[in-house]
Structure 1
Amino acid sequence: MSWRQFRAQALVAAAGLVVIAAGLVVLGMDIRDTYDTYLARCQGDCADAMSQFTNEYRNLLLFLDAGFILVPGLLGMFWGAPLVARELETGTHRLVWNQSVPRRRWLAVKLLFAGLAGMTATGLVSLLLTWAAGPVDQVANDRFETLVFSARHVAPVAYAAFAVVLGTVIGLLIRRTLPAMALTLLVFIAVQIAMPNLVRPYLMPPITTSKPMTSEAINELRSLGGLSDRPTIGGLTIPDAWVTDTSELLTADGQPLDADKFNKCIGPDASDDSPREGGGRFGAAAQCLGDLDLHVTASYQPNHRYWLFQWLESAIYLTLSTLLAVLGRWRIQHRL
């Protein structure tokens, strides 16, 4: 019965997987050919050639990553939300739950069926995308970047399990298919925004270091200042690491730099991308700040923790899925 009710969605998903797989295989081969071309073209120092190589595919891969992150949410929306809500809305649950199969077993089988199908489909796409983007990811070395981390390896499989169970339980609670579908997608997106910003940076204690802010270091930043007048910076990088937090600019005695001195150095147009007097991206502003003997305190996660973070985040999503399934099992037995 579960297969008969699910086969239309399964066939649509299978057709979509074939199209996606073909596109990713073509993209992966193209990326590898381009990588070999850039590698053969460079002599000695290949940094510039590799930078051009990553820039050639960066926007396309970020677009694919962003789209793929929504795939588990769509599975939860179209597969999970109608799973029970449709039965309740049409009244067919009265017939289903009066058969020989207990309602809790009925729910467990349907959850496992849809959940495993969603995990399999998402895992296959994740595997292909990880393979296709492999050379770019290796050169860019930004495995912890939000979109890249959420679209690679094992984490998306756990996202799919969570999304399907989430949709099922929401449908069980509000008992209307269309509202359940909309709410499932909204909740999933909210969780996906909260995880990399509020949870992921703290899955393991970060390493803290002090980094001098010389004029050269300042010219490597992405931005100086922000919406406020505080002496903040943006885009600090540490080799082979994910920087999770950066302090304000600090003086030699560890005190925050005076805002008036900071604003005097950066001027009204310091965030422009055009080089200014003094050389480098921030020109004279970098030289002015570099002369103040400043530093920042940065917290970071080294790249060698990547796989541990993947498994930890997957465990969190699978635990949430289990708790939601237990809630749905209790609800269907005692409240309906």
Structure 2
Amino acid sequence: MSARSILWLTWRQHRWAVGAVALLALGGAWALFEGEDSRRQTGSMTMLGFHATVVQLAFGCVVGVVWGAPLVSRELEEGTYFVAWGQDVTPVQWLRGKVVVLGLLAAVLGAVIGIGDGYSGDPRWTWGLFEAFWALQAGYAVFGLALGVLVGLLSRHVVTAMAATLVLYTLVRVFTAVVVRDHLLPSVRSTTDWTSMPQVPPGALVLRTGFVDSDLDPVDVTAECRPYTADSCMRSSGAASGRYADFQPADRIGLFQFLELGLFLLLSAVLLAVAFRILRRSGGWKPSRSHRRITSDAAGPADPTDPTDPTDPTDPVDSSEPETAATRAEG
């Protein structure tokens, strides 16, 4: 099947879902820019900018639920895969073509909705607007699509696949934001004695603060100091020699965004590789000859050159039974 045929088939089958998600992305991008303009006038985030930010955060999940989850599960649930995969295209070719087309669309629309933040409009990067980055939003959208495809292939049920994709996508995004993102690179530590506070540059993301001993190693607050003010107690008791602060500087934001983009693209590649492996190795997806063969009643006389026809036209016809019946009738 040619690239034009795959493109036409994908548009024909998914035009309503593609159109709805495209309108959501374009509308969200417009609302983000409108929110930035309103914020410059009012000094605070407007409701329009807030709702647009929510759409931006959830866009990858929308792609996974609306595009990815039903892509294979609908074919399996309705039994139409016997037709879709029984023609001149294999299941792997069918899925590869659709994933390429929808994946490119998802990346483009994700980049569109990631060009604004709905609040600052400031070209300077801040950790609070970490996910308002066009490349990162494109990676989230591709990941959502890959996750939905694999979940749909495993569940074989559209509603189940959509619900599971929603839950799994949310868990992965939250886990990445809370646990993984801050530790993509080792943090920077600033230590000082009791005469001053640790020096943290403006815009840095502070990960943890505490006390250090004479070797500048972190120490926990002792049991004796927990009921009191920890700072003065640790100092007077000699349990600590100073303070420390671990942070990620603001000049790492761009690097962290591309590292997280690479992480989600790697996850997407793994999910799609598993999906294609399952599809390639599962003989149950392939239509059997009985499903592809048209019966003689519907197709007319059998083709003597058809290798799928179990009958051999050269075999002699046994006419002994009709002749016996005719003889009895005459008698």
TM norm. shorter chain > 0.5 = yes
Report the RMSD for the aligned CA atoms in angstroms: 3.0
The yes-or-no answer on 1:263 pairing with 2:214 is: no
Structure 2 match to 1:144: 127
Structure 2 match to 1:305: 252
Residues 162 and 321 of structure 1 are in contact (CA less than 8 Å); yes or no, is this contact kept in structure 2?
A: yes
Distance 2:52 2:26 in 1: 16
Aligned pair in 2 of structure 1 residues 20, 253: CA closer, same or farther (>3 Å)?
A: closer
Q: What amino acid sits opposite 1:123 in the alignment? A: A
Deviations 1:34-70 (A, max 9, x none): 5xxxxxxxxxxxxxxxxxx4xx339986665444222
Q: What amino acid sits opposite 1:180 in the alignment? A: A
Q: What amino acid sits opposite 1:242 in the alignment? A: L
Structure 1 match to 2:206: 243
Partner-residue secondary structure (3-state), 1:100: coil
Structure 2 match to 1:5: 13
Q: TM-score, normalised by structure 2?
A: 0.71
Partner-residue secondary structure (3-state), 1:307: helix
Residues 75 and 160 of structure 1 are in contact (CA less than 8 Å); yes or no, is this contact kept in structure 2?
A: yes
Higher helix share: 1
- Structure 1 residue 185 displacement after superposition: 1.0
Distance 1:66 1:299 in 2: 30
- Structure 1 residue 18 displacement after superposition: 4.0
Q: What amino acid sits opposite 1:152 in the alignment? A: F
Out of 82, 98, 115, the position equivalent to 2:70 is 82
Distance 2:215 2:266 in 1: 46
Distance 1:300 1:60 in 2: 33
Distance 1:313 1:21 in 2: 22
Gaps of at least 5 residues in structure 2 are 1-8, 286-331
Structure 2 match to 1:228: none
Out of 54, 58, 61, the position equivalent to 1:73 is 61
Distance 2:273 2:265 in 1: 12
Number of residue equivalences = 270
Q: What amino acid sits opposite 1:79 in the alignment? A: W
Structure 1 match to 2:121: 134
Partner-residue secondary structure (3-state), 2:229: helix
Larger Rg: 2
Partner-residue secondary structure (3-state), 2:89: coil
Residues 81 and 167 of structure 1 are in contact (CA less than 8 Å); yes or no, is this contact kept in structure 2?
A: yes
- Structure 1 residue 213 displacement after superposition: 6.4
- Structure 1 residue 161 displacement after superposition: 0.4
Q: How does 1:62-211 map to 2 (within 5 A)?
A: 64-129=52-117, 133-135=120-122, 138=124, 143-145=126-128, 148-211=129-192
Distance 1:120 1:90 in 2: 30
Q: TM-score, normalised by structure 1?
A: 0.70
Distance 1:256 1:16 in 2: 49
Aligned pair in 2 of structure 1 residues 61, 297: CA closer, same or farther (>3 Å)?
A: farther
Residues 76 and 163 of structure 1 are in contact (CA less than 8 Å); yes or no, is this contact kept in structure 2?
A: yes
Structure 2 match to 1:41: none
- Structure 1 residue 156 displacement after superposition: 1.3
Partner-residue secondary structure (3-state), 2:127: coil
Distance 1:294 1:27 in 2: 48
Residues 251 and 257 of structure 1 are in contact (CA less than 8 Å); yes or no, is this contact kept in structure 2?
A: no
Structure 1 match to 2:319: none
Deviations 1:71-90 (A, max 9, x none): 10121011100000000000
Partner-residue secondary structure (3-state), 1:127: coil
